Chains A and B, each alone.
Chain A
Amino acid sequence: MLSEDILYLSVRELGERIRGGKLSPVELAESFLARSEALGPKLNAYATITRDLALQQARTAEKEIASGHYRGPLHGVPYAAKDLVAVQGYPTTWGARPLAKQSFDYNATVIERLNRAGAVLIGKAAMIELAGGLGYSAGDASLTGPCKNPWNTKYWTCGSSSGSGAIVSAALAPWAIGSDTRGSIICPTSWCGISGMRPSFGRVSRHGAMAIAWTMDKLGPMARTADDCGLVLSVLAGNDPLDFDSLPAGVSDFVYTGAESEPAKPLRIGRLTNVWNQQEAGLEAAVDAALKVLEKNGATIADVEMPDGPYEEAAELTILMESASAFQELIASGRCADLIDPVGRINGYASQEFSVGDYLQVQRVRTFLQTQVDKLFDRFDVLATAGESSAAAPLNAPPEEDSAGPIERRAPDGISSLCGLPAISVPCGLSKDKLPFGVQFIGRALNDHAVIAAARRFQSHTDWHKMRPPIS
């Protein structure tokens, strides 16, 4: 069993040791499997641990590397995949009780890409049922129970990529695939104290992954560092004819080695001043401190407001409308009644009542909203704000009544997801309860490099990403 110090290494560091013959892929896989089997159940982090597949892939990697056939930075490196990604030979439950025995006879495109890269699949990560596609009201809305935060198991990880967040945070695997329709990578990344990225829409194929809302769904990496997100994204990205929204070849590709030269001009950061109604005490100061670090190291910082408009309505309605179609069979058959959450059991019926006229109106309004947001990037390379408006929430908090106070009309997850913008969240501090805070950087569509560059620069001058949760 390898030490915790090894298991908390970044993907880049693990890959370099494997390439140099200093680390055995088999020993690494066995260590992550043992840790996953010991700690995974305490966190409800996994839907399935793919022990046999992991060891087979690790042995293959070890032989290939020993014979001089090195595939790249993920070769021999373990990972986990959210349980909405099809893996041939294993259940793919979408986190939902009615689909507990579902499986597919093919691999999702991202799994095929990772197989070609020689990566080692440790397991399928737990998730909120249907990734929240038919609605949910609490963190226990999952086939595998509430996912517990490694920083304090009385707290939630956030969703819907709950298991992916917990797995990376607790070093059960060095990185995991998450999915993000509206915040499902950024929120668990922030709450679990890791680095996670939502790529530009269309950069990573969703073929073989559960659909919620075709015009908003994205897959992306959750890892220990921004640099790791770049490395993984360079493998996941690329055109796929099987995904109708896949960007064309040449546009979808993401070339990243980590050795890219810094841009000659200073990084221009816009600090968003109007995107959260209320932030937990200490969070705003943590984000300000993070931006000061960047300012001291050459970035320019200026305040900016997100333009007003029905962004949240458009995002929410798009998801409701498209998910009613994506989950039509579950709704029509009545099998949605077997979902855990009371909202999920009935919400699809309401969503089926939207008219086609309303759907098209939303999609036409969306074009204007995209244009408005895009203009901000004439002045800034990235926009910065908190990853989430608080640190993790307790699992046993009572159901929340709709609170008083102004609406979160410009909450950044809805705006940036609606417009397909890349974003990354990285840890930037701790709350009074010793739970992680995150700072996120949002970039112009297709400028995934900018968000990684901002986060990398921050992490090159700080150690927040090296924090470890008190779990063992």
Chain B
Amino acid sequence: MSTSSSSSDNSDAPIKDANGAKTKAARISRREFGLDAAVAAALSLSVSPSGLLGERRDRDTISPAIAASEQDSLGPKLTAEQSRDVEAKLANIIRKYGERLSEEQRKHLRRILAYNETMLAPIRAFTLQNGDPPVTVLKLSSGKNNE
């Protein structure tokens, strides 16, 4: 693991975000993660749950269009639509918080947003019906909580 100075802005640090335990050996390769997810999104506009759960994706089938997408060389490959989403989100962050962010941090944010897009792709591709509920549900309160 890195022992880089805590005061430095190490924007090249690998993204190991938002979970308790990420380790060098166990870390998800988010570039590969993104690549795989982008392939999935490109190959299937509408994927049934059974199809998504049962089908293993072959990273060698990446399309030329994705491979040639205009991306930061350090970030994942994105579709044109994903790239537009990243730029729109980055613009919104800069609109709200731009005064706080260095150029390096803005570049780092672009990479994070790109990874987030690739993670969203297979989730958005998952076909759901109107009545399929989220795991978050309202817990009724009727005087005695949870009883």
Contact = CB atoms under 8 A, between A and B. Distances in A.
A345 B17 CA distance: 11
Contacts of A182: 19-21
Given A246-B146, A342-B9, A363-B135, A137 B25 contact: no
Given A320-B116, A368-B53, A347 B18 contact: yes
Contact of A316 (B19, B36, B101): B19
Contacts of A181: 19-20
Given A183-B21, A390-B24, A137 B10 contact: yes
A5 interface: no
B21 A309 contact: no
Nearest to A386: B26
A9 interface: no
Nearest to A315: B19
A463 interface: no
Nearest to A348: B18
B32 interface: yes
Contact of B101 (A161, A187, A346, A368): A346
B145 A241 contact: yes
A278 B23 CA distance: 13
A472 B11 CA distance: 38
Given A140-B6, A308-B55, A367-B134, A400 B19 contact: no
A390 B25 CA distance: 6
Interface in B56-79: 56, 59
Contacts of A389: 23, 25-26
A364 B134 contact: yes
B109 A138 contact: no
Interface in B1-55: 1-4, 6, 8-33, 36-37, 49, 52-55
Interface string B103-147: 001001100110010011011101010001111100100001111
B93 interface: yes
Nearest to A138: B2
A45 B81 CA distance: 47
Contacts of B93: 349-350, 352-353
A138 B19 contact: no
A183 B123 contact: no
A362 interface: yes
A138 B28 contact: no
B18 to A, nearest CB: 4
Contacts of B101: 346, 349
Given A310-B52, A400-B27, A407-B29, A341 B145 contact: no
A349 B92 CA distance: 10
Contact of B14 (A137, A317, A404): A137
A433 B16 CA distance: 25
Contact of A400 (B14, B55, B113, B123): B14
Nearest to B3: A396
B32 to A, nearest CB: 5
Contact of B1 (A133, A139, A180, A187): A139
Given A395-B1, A403-B29, A407-B36, A343 B23 contact: no
Contact of A372 (B30, B53, B132): B53
A358 B122 CA distance: 11
B2 A248 contact: no
Contact of A408 (B28, B96, B122): B28
Contacts of B55: 308
Contacts of B96: 349
B13 A399 contact: yes
Contacts of B108: 342-343, 346
Interface stretch (A28-36, A152-160, A285-293, A452-460): A152-160
A394 B100 CA distance: 33
Contacts of B9: 342, 345
Contact of A394 (B1, B13, B49): B1
Contact of A138 (B4, B17, B119, B126): B4
A406 B59 contact: yes
Nearest to B120: A358
Contact of A368 (B30, B37, B49, B116): B49
A187 B14 contact: no
A421 interface: no
B132 A134 contact: no
Most A CB atoms within 10 A — which of B6, B20, B112, B136? B20
A340 interface: yes
B24 A132 contact: no
A343 B15 contact: yes
A138 B53 contact: no
Given A131-B20, A182-B21, A353-B113, A343 B13 contact: yes
9 contacts: A140-B2, A160-B20, A343-B112, A351-B116, A361-B124, A366-B135, A369-B53, A403-B32, A413-B26
Interface of A: 128, 131-141, 146, 156, 158-161, 179-188, 191, 212, 215, 239-241, 244, 246, 248-249, 276, 278-280, 307-310, 312-317, 319-320, 323, 334, 337, 340-343, 345-347, 349-354, 358, 360-370, 372, 388-390, 393-409, 411, 413-414
Given A309-B53, A363-B136, A368-B126, 10 more contacts: A139-B2, A246-B146, A308-B53, A313-B122, A354-B116, A365-B128, A368-B132, A399-B4, A407-B33, A408-B28
